Structure 1
Amino acid sequence: METAEIRRRWLAFFEQRGHTVVPSAPLVHADPNLLFVNAGMVPFKPYFLGQETPPYQRATSVQKCVRTLDIEEVGQTTRHGTFFQMQGNFSFGDYFKEGAIELAWELLTTSQRDGGLGFDEKDLYASVYQDDDEAISLWRKVAGLPESRIVRLGKKDNYWHMGVAGPGGPCSEILLDRGPEFGADGDWEAGDRYLEFWNLVFMQYELENVRSKEDFDIVGDLPKRNIDTGMGLERVAFLTQGVDNIYETDEVYPVIEAAEELSGRHYGADHGDDVRFRVVADHVRSSLMLIGDGVTPGNEGRGYVLRRLLRRAVRSMRLLGVDAPSLEHLLPVSMGRMKSSYPELERDFDRIGQVAYGEEDAFRRTLAAGTTILDVSVAKAKQSGSSRLGGVEAFALHDTYGFPIDLTLEMAAEQGLQVDEAGFRRLMDEQRGRAKADAKAKKAAHGDTLVYRGLADALGRDVEFTGYDQVATEATVRGLVRDGEVVDHAVVGDTVEVVLDRTPLYAESGGQQADHGRIRLQNGALLEVLDVQRPITGLVVHRATVLEGEVRTGETAEAEVDVTRRRSISRAHTATHMVHQALRDELGPTATQAGSENSPGRLRFDFKSLQAVPAAAMAEIEARINAVLLDDLPVTADIMSLDAARKTGAMALFGEKYGERVRVVSIGDWSRELCVGTHTPRVGQIGVVKLLGESSIGSGVRRVEALVGSDAYQHLAREAALVSQLTDTLAVRPEELPERIAGLVARLREAEKAIATVRQGQVLGAATALVATARDLGGVSFVSHDAGEGVTPDDLRALVLDVRNRLGNDRPSLVSMSAVANGRPVVVVATNERAREQGLKAGAFVKLAATALGGGGGGKDDLAQGGGSDATAVPAALGAVEDALRTRGA
């Protein structure tokens, strides 16, 4: 049975039994504690935590997941990968233990002919939490399992919680006995004989003081008991397809076959090669899915994980003997296997491929640079008589240059050196420990929302937003928060967070900055609103300062928007949609949004692109936007289902969480996007859009900034005034300015060259006279000279070398000179070959002089340069060189 068919059967089975099918959330999730979705329950976490009310009592999903804690271990075992799909069924206060066990047993043991998964009952076992007698009795009642096929295990294996205070409870795992060839009878810990593939979590308790996986306090029962189950799709696939591991399933193995063909090596022939084949297959698929969900390679966070995956895949192909680019052959194979479950991968494959192949090219250049750096490190090790490369050097190659340790090991061995792997691993462990400590510290973020959760529960429903149609709304003060605590009143001068039951003020979201405004209470109190946020879904808080009177909960109020600010931001937001569409029209569909900011009078738009946008293209984009403004297209917003929105071609943002009903903002028939922000009624009201330029803000991400409306007009007016001033000064027409300015610049450069030539001639002309000033200091011809101000470092260096060369090489000579350029002193020292034979090194003398100048310097033994900040210390600097030369033999 193919993996896609197992997935289809799962969803169909639970949908037929009253579960709402919830599409997989993107791998990039809003949870600040997670780089990626790493478990099937993550999208449902707000329901389990009580932050949101679930819109259904039963749900099922097949969730895309990525786990990256042990990337280096991928391929070493046959059961773990970075990307996997977690099938789950969930109950929110509906069925509990018995229902979960009944559903699981039915799906597992129903024959494949009848739509089930067709597992043989005699091969199935259950593990339960050691004190959960109820679960044991249910397994006997529902499945008829004898005591011998039910095993009691402790909290480490059969108790679930989120690692922080919140819901938790015992769980029960379903295991498959794979037979005696995989281990001994009753050896539950081995992991290969009795393979766990479905975990049923019975979420029923409120936990506090969670100190570890097994150490926590149960403080009471949850108001509603929930079910959260997870069955790894890849594990079920290899168990039902008659193969030994996840790498040999139908969605993964074709990449191994393609790698075999490219490398000429065979999977199963050598353990080392097998690990590399598995790394390639896993990482190519994981990269495909991550790029598909909008991740681009980078040096931090999610981007760094993707970069590591792609580079480990490329490196593994290199270790398999493939030096040529390989992703262009492997990635399409993975897409071909995954597209039946995720058709968007095929639609977006041009962009996905562009990102992946660009990163491979960059890494190949890194390999070339890293090889040079490695060669230098190897040479230094050999010169010092060492037979091994230090762990510090290996870690620097890995951490700073992205050079994989396996490649360092291989290439060092080729040159007869070992690598201090233990030192490297120690540094890696220290880095990993810092990362884990940071992640653990971030879990405290759950506690920050407790006060807001309490307010949301008290409200009993979401705060109603009226701002699409109104700029002033009557409301009731439902809650006040000051200094992180709920209060019942606030007085003049207090800064307080105000919760209303309804509001026209827009909370910062989707790149649009928050509204400002005022709240007037019926009792005469007045508050100035400085910010509006949504700390949790459904709750809007207004950060405000009390200007007059006293504010109390329960008071009637009127909230009003700062209309001037709102209109200016709305114009910028509509213009952002126009920039997005015009970029796609010019650059193609790969120019997808990666972030934005809409503020009064200006916008910032980030988009995916591996190359800079040519100036001519930017001009076309700006012209296109302003041409549409003249068409004065209407801007409309429609509420529809997510499926309907997708059918209209509406653009959605990677990583955004959308409900089943979405708001689609259209600019005529030209642009259509999912958006909750505020906009102008017609684009003509924007006036004008002026693009200020575009630039890189990271690997594969570019940024366009623009001015909108009156801000754009004022910018253009300033430019027009400047052009007018230049035309008057140069006595030319505006269209002649570029040519005239280019001519002036060319003449200026020629003049600067001529001046430099004359100045250098003057400086070098002093060489003959300076040679005549040479003194004998301990058998060394010594010249010291203060060139004064206005001599450039380049000219000073040329003068020093000229004097040294004129002194010849018959006897040792040392030349020391200083000058002041742009207010900063510089010193140059040169030695000839005879001086260096006596141990006189220019770099050592320059360091003495530079120290006197309050700075530093260095260079080679024959020529060195330094500088500092104290121009008054030039005599002391030259004197330090002379003193050191005079006393060298003392």
Structure 2
Amino acid sequence: MQTAEIRRRWLEFFERNGHTVVPSASLVSNDPSLMFTVAGMVPFIPYLTAREPAPYPRATSVQKCLRTLDIEEVGKTSRHGTFFQMNGNFSFGDYFKEGAIGFAWELLTSSVEAGGYGLDPEKLWVTVYLDDDESAGLWKRLAGLPEERIQRRDKKDNYWHTGQPGPGGPCSEIYYDRGPAYGREGGPIADEDRYIEIWNLVFMQEMLGEVRSKVDFDVLGDLPAKNIDTGMGLERLACVLQGVDNMYEIDEVRPVLDRAAQLSGRRYGAVHADDVRLRVVADHVRSALMLIGDGITPSNEGPGYVLRRLIRRAVRAMRLLGVEDPCLPQLLPVSRDVMKLSYPELAAEFARISSVAYAEEEAFRRTLVQGTQIFDSTVRELKASGGSALSGERAFALHDTYGFPIDLTLEMASEAGVGVDEDGFRRLMAEQRDRAKADARAKRSGGVDVTVFRDALAKHGPTDWLAYTHLRTESRVLGLVSGGEGVAAAGPGEIVHAILDRTPFYAESGGQNADAGHLVWDGGRAEVLDVQRPVKSLVVHQVRVLDGELAVDTAVDAAVDAEWRLGACQAHSGTHVVHAALRDVLGPSALQSGSYNRPGYLRLDFSWTQALTPEQRADVERVSNEAVRNDLPVSARYMTLPQAQEFGALALFGETYGEQVRVVEVGGPWSRELCGGTHVAHSSQIGPLVLSGESSVGASVRRVEAIVGLEGYQYLARERDLVRQLADVLKTPREDVVGRVEAMVARLRDVEREIAKLRAGQVLAASSSLASSARDVFGVAYVGHDAGDASADDVRTLVLDVRGRMPADRPAVVAVTGVAKERPVVVIATNEEARRWGVKAGELVRAAAKVLGGGGGGKDDVAQGGGQDATKVPEALAAVEHAVGQRVTGAA
């Protein structure tokens, strides 16, 4: 049975049994404590923990998940992978143990013809918590399982909690016996390789207090409403139903592995090291496909860093298998073709997905060349200094600065006969991860402990949010928070977070800045500095008290700055217009991957692999302003996410959407996007739209910036004034300014070339005298010369000319320095006889560059370096002369 069919049967079974089918959330988690969605229950945590009321009593999903903690173990065992899918069914205070166990047994053992999975009941075992007699009894009564196939396990294996105070409860796991070929008899407690876990049923029934460890916690009592959270590993069940040994051999993964084996000429199953690499490739290519499909692009932090690492590990594994040519164009389409059965959007978006992946592979191929050169230089320096191991700092720099994988560093170090301080490297990596997680948490929560806001939501309920319809509301202060704790009041100058019962203020989201405005009350006034949603459904205002005292329960007039809101609406609607214009001009693969809007300004990041031409920029600006001139209607409507997808609405990749979504249209189908921002009523209200910039922000991602509204007019006015001033200075009509400037620049270049020729002539004039004044250094003719203010090209020309004038039958070394733009440069050349004596230009230039506070390198005959301190030029030339003597005499 194909994996896509297993998925379909799961959703249909639970839908028939009264469950709401919930689409998979993004791989990027909406939980500030998580980078990725690591389990099927993550999107349901607010409902399972009662932080938010569940919108349905029963739900089911097939959730995309990603775990990277054990990425180094991928391929080495059958248990470790990165991307996986988790089938789940959930009950929020509805059915409990009997329902969960009944559903699980029915689906697993019903015949294929009846819509089930058709597993042999005799091969199924279960585990229950030590004293969970109720579950054991249900397995006997509902499934007819004998006592010997119901095994008891302790808290370590069969009790679930989040690791924090909150809900917890025993769980019951279902195992499938793969037979004696996979291990010994005795059930899961004897051998979990033979008895493979396929489904875990969690019975949330207790409230936990202090949680000290997985097995050490306080139980405060029973939960008022009991919940069900189950998780079935889709890939694990596919292994069972497809009769394969591990997840790398199922139908959604094996084709990529087979194609990698074909490209490399290796046979899967022949050599363990090759098998590991082929599994890494198959796993990482699929994971990269899914991440890019969710809108992630490679970067040096957060989810983008993980994506970059996955792609580079896959490419590196292929190189170790002997494939030097680009491999992703051969592998990614294979993964698309097997995954599109479950995720059709992968095929529809493949042009964008592949452009991102292929660009990253090409960038890494260049990195490998550069990183190898740096690694070789580092090893040479290490050996020259008598060291035996690369420091953790050096290994981390190779990894962090040049993208060099640590496994590659380790392998090359072993080949070079040196070690690596892995502990130091891991420590630095851990510190970087901790900083990244802290930054992510701070960005998502505003650096404030959200516990107090969760308590406020539980006490007062959701904020009545009226930003779409109101600019002013009569509101009441429900709470004030300062330093993460509730306070009763705040005086002039104090900055606090205010929770209101209702608000017209837009909370920052979807790339749109929060509203500005004021809170006014009898005897006081506060400025609204920021508006956020630290927890879902609760709007919090950061305010600075200007006059009077703001106290809890105060009635306030909450007023948005109308000009600010208008500018924000113009910018956000302008973003939709620019996005549609980009797709008109460049094609449907130019999809938005991020945005930022504030009054008068917008920027939009989109998938594209190269800079826009001047013609393309002009076309995007023209199409955008035509849309403004045409006064297109702007409207918003609500619908379910599946309805919106059928409607053709574009979703911002990486965003998390609920069941009900808001679709914003500009001109009907011309621009139709999921969006929670504020907008103008007609496109003409956007005003002038001027593209002010276009740049790269990463592999396969470009950014356009634009000015809109009154700010757009002012931008054009400044441009007009600049042209007028230039025309006045040049004493030429405005329409002739460009031609006049071009002529001046051409004349200036001619003069600069003439000056360069004169300077080069002056430099070369010294060649003859320098060659004839060479010093004898233990038999080597040595020329050391400071050329003063001379460019690197002039210095190189002089060095080669002097070397050409030296006798060919005597070893000769020429070293010349110059200073260009206040930075010193040194070029060194040796003749053939000097190289026969063992004197190499590359070694000498490093000695000079070290004195100058820089670096350098090159070939044995000519090398170049530079530095930071021009005052050290005499010392650098002396260092070269000393190094020549050392090399010739063999002195240490």
Question: How far did 1:712 drift?
Answer: 1.8
Return the alpha-carbon distance in structure 1 between the equivalents of residues 610 and 5 of structure 2.
40
Aligned AA (1:553): V
1:452 aligned partner: 453
Correspondences of 1:455-466 after superposition (within 5 Å): 455-460=456-461, 462-466=462-466
Structure 1 pair 325–867 and aligned structure 2 pair: CA distance change class (3 A): closer
Counterparts in 2 of 1:88 and 1:804: CA distance versus 1, 3 Å? closer
SS in 1 for 2:197: strand
1:289 aligns with 2:290: yes
Could you say which residue in structure 1 is the equivalent of 2:739?
A: 739
Distance in 1, matches of 2:778 and 2:331, equals 71
Letter in structure 2 aligned against 1:240: L
Corresponding residue for 1:50?
Answer: 50
The alignment of Structure 1 onto Structure 2 pairs a total of residues equal to 880
- The offset of 1:467, in angstroms, is 2.2
Match of 2:356 in 1: 355
Hey, what does 2:62 align to over in structure 1?
62
Letter in 2 for 1:37: T
d(CA) in 2 for partners of 1:886, 1:235: 69
Distance change >3 Å, CA 379–CA 140, structure 1 → 2: same
Q: What is the distance in 1 between the residues matched to 2:884 and 2:331?
A: 66
Q: Partners in 2 of 1:279 and 1:839 — Cα distance?
A: 45
**In 2, distance between residues paired with 1:559 and 1:647?**
39
Moved more, 252-261 or 91-100: 252-261
Pair 1:39–1:836, CA change in 2 (3 A):
closer
Instruction: Tell me if structure 1 keeps the 8 A contact 2:596–2:602.
Output: yes
Q: Is the 8 A contact 2:126 2:175 kept in 1?
A: yes
In the superposition, relative to structure 1, how do residues 623 and 411 fare at CA in structure 2: closer, same or farther (>3 Å)? same
The residue that corresponds to 2:630 in the other structure is: 631
Between the aligned partners of 1:443 and 1:755, the Cα distance in structure 2 is 54
Paired residues of 2:22 and 2:659 also in contact (CA < 8 A): no
Range with greater deviation from structure 2 (690-699 or 314-323):
314-323
Any conservation in 1 of the 2:296–2:303 contact (CA below 8 Å)?
yes
Q: Which amino acid aligns with 1:87?
A: N
Q: Which amino acid aligns with 2:489?
A: H
Q: 2:390·2:420 contact (CA, 8 Å) conserved in 1?
A: no
Once residues 281 and 882 of structure 2 are traced to their aligned partners in structure 1, the CA distance between those partners, rounded to angstroms, is: 64
1:528 counterpart residue number = 527
* Cα separation, 2, equivalents of 1:492 and 1:568: 29
Pick which of 354-363 and 716-725 moved more: 354-363
CA distance in 2, matches of 1:209, 1:576: 48
The equivalent residue for 2:36 is 36
- Aligned-partner residue type, residue 515 of structure 2: D
Give the structure 2 partner of residue 546 of structure 1: 545
Contact persistence 1:33–1:442 (CA under 8 A): no
Q: Secondary structure at the match of 1:496?
A: strand
Amino acid at match of 2:148: S
Give the distance between the partners of 2:68 and 2:6, measured in 1 at CA.
25
Distance, in Å, in 1 between the alignment partners of 2:866 and 2:440 is: 50
Shift, 1:785, TM fit: 8.0
Give the Cα–Cα distance (whole angstroms) in 1 for the partners of residues 842 and 194 of structure 2: 68
Q: Deviations over 1:539-568 (max 9, x none)?
A: 011111122222222222211011111111
Q: The residue matched to 1:481 in structure 2 has which SS? A: strand
Q: Report the Cα distance in structure 1 between the residues aligned to 2:131 and 2:801, rounded to whole angstroms.
A: 91
User: How far apart are the structure 1 equivalents of 2:146 and 2:315?
Assistant: 50
CA contact (8 A) 2:823 2:866 kept: no
Cα gap change, 1:278 to 1:400, in 2 (>3 Å): same
Match of 1:608 in 2: 607
Hey, what's the Cα distance between the residues in 2 that align with 1:864 and 1:10? 66
Aligned to 1:7: 7
Match of 2:98 in 1: 98
How much has 1:885 moved relative to structure 2? 12
Other-structure match for 1:640: 639
What amino acid sits opposite 2:737 in the alignment? L
Structure 2 CA distance, aligned partners of 1:257 and 1:773? 68
Identity across the alignment (%): 58
Deviates more, 1:655-664 or 1:238-247: 238-247
Q: State whether residues 607 and 702 of structure 2, in contact with CA within 8 Å, keep that contact through their aligned partners in structure 1.
A: yes
Question: How far is 1:199 from its partner?
Answer: 0.5
1:195 corresponds in structure 2 to 196
Question: CA offsets per residue over residues 738-787 of structure 1, 9 Å max, x none?
Answer: 33322221211111111222234345446677889999999999999887
Structure 2 CA distance, aligned partners of 1:725 and 1:646? 52
- Listed as ranges, the gaps of 5+ residues in structure 2 are none
Partner residue, 2:686:
686
Q: What secondary structure is seen at the aligned counterpart in 2 of 1:113?
A: coil
How far residue 410 of structure 1 moved from its aligned partner, in angstroms, is 8.4
Give the whole-Å Cα distance in 2 for the aligned partners of 1:582 and 1:110. 53
Render the CA deviation track for 1:139-168: whole Å, top value 9, x for unaligned.
333333333212122222112222334322
Report the CA distance shift for 1:419/1:294 in structure 2 as closer, same or farther (over 3 A). farther
What does residue 143 of structure 2 align with?
Answer: 143
State the alpha-carbon separation in 1 of the partners of residues 449 and 206 from structure 2.
21
Q: How does 1:378-777 map to 2 (within 5 A)?
A: 401-402=402-403, 417=415, 423=420, 429-430=426-427, 434=431, 448-460=449-461, 462-521=462-521, 523-669=522-668, 670-765=670-765
Quote the offset at 1:6 in angstroms. Answer: 2.0
Equivalent residue number for residue 182 of structure 2: 182
Give the whole-Å Cα distance in 2 for the aligned partners of 1:202 and 1:320.
47
Letter in 2 for 1:200: L
CA distances 1:636-688 after superposition (whole Å, capped 9, x unpaired): 22222323322322111112222222222111222111111111122212221
Structure 2: distance between partners of 1:851 and 1:390? 20
Shift of 1:343: 1.7
Instruction: Give distance in 1, aligned partners of 2:147 and 2:67.
Output: 35
Contact 1:775 1:782 in 2 (8 A): yes
- C-alpha separation in 2, matches of 1:749 and 1:468: 58
Look up the match of 1:130.
130
Question: 3-state SS of the aligned residue for 1:287?
Answer: helix
> Residue type of the partner of 2:197?
E
Unaligned runs of 5+ in 1: none
Letter in 1 for 2:647: T
Alignment-mate amino acid for residue 227 of structure 1:
I
Does the 8 A contact of 1:817 with 1:827 survive in 2? yes
The SS at the match of 2:538 is coil
Deviations 1:18-64 (A, max 9, x none): 21111111212222333321110011112233332211121111111
The alignment's TM-score, normalised by the length of structure 1, stands at: 0.87
Q: Using the alignment, how far apart are the partners of 1:487 and 1:506 within structure 2?
A: 24
Change in CA separation of 1:444 and 1:191 when aligned onto 2, cut-off 3 Å:
farther
1:494-546 C-alpha deviation (Å, 9 max, x unpaired): 2111111111111111111011111112x332211111111111001111112
Structure 1 counterpart SS, 2:359: helix
Q: Is the 8 A contact 1:389 1:419 kept in 2?
A: no
In 2, the alpha carbon distance for the partners of 1:863 and 1:245 equals: 54
CA-CA distance at 1:125 after TM superposition: 1.5
Larger deviation, residues 823-832 vs 506-515: 823-832
Tell me, yes or no, if the aligned pair for 2:70 and 2:80 is still in contact at 8 Å: no
How far apart are residue 180 of structure 1 and its match?
Answer: 2.4
Contact 1:388 1:418 in 2 (8 A): no
Mapped partners of 1:254, 1:72: distance in 2: 22
> Counterparts of 1:148-227 in structure 2 under 5 Å?
148-186=148-186, 188-227=189-228
Q: Following TM superposition, by how much is the alpha carbon of 1:575 offset from its aligned partner in structure 2, in angstroms?
A: 0.7
From the superposition, tell whether residues 431 and 204 of structure 1 become closer, same or farther in structure 2 (CA, over 3 Å): farther
Q: 1:710 to 1:444 in 2, by over 3 A?
A: closer
1:252 is matched by which residue type in structure 2?
A: V
Classify the secondary structure of the residue corresponding to 2:514.
Answer: coil
- For residues 661 and 654 of structure 2, what CA distance do their matches in structure 1 show? 15
Match of 1:331 in 2: 332
Which range is displaced more, 260-269 or 57-66?
260-269
Following the alignment from structure 1 to structure 2, what is the Cα–Cα distance between the partners of residues 792 and 64?
Answer: 57
In 2, Cα distance between equivalents of 1:11 and 1:389: 53
Partner residue in 2 for 1:235: 236
* TM-score, structure 2 normalization: 0.87
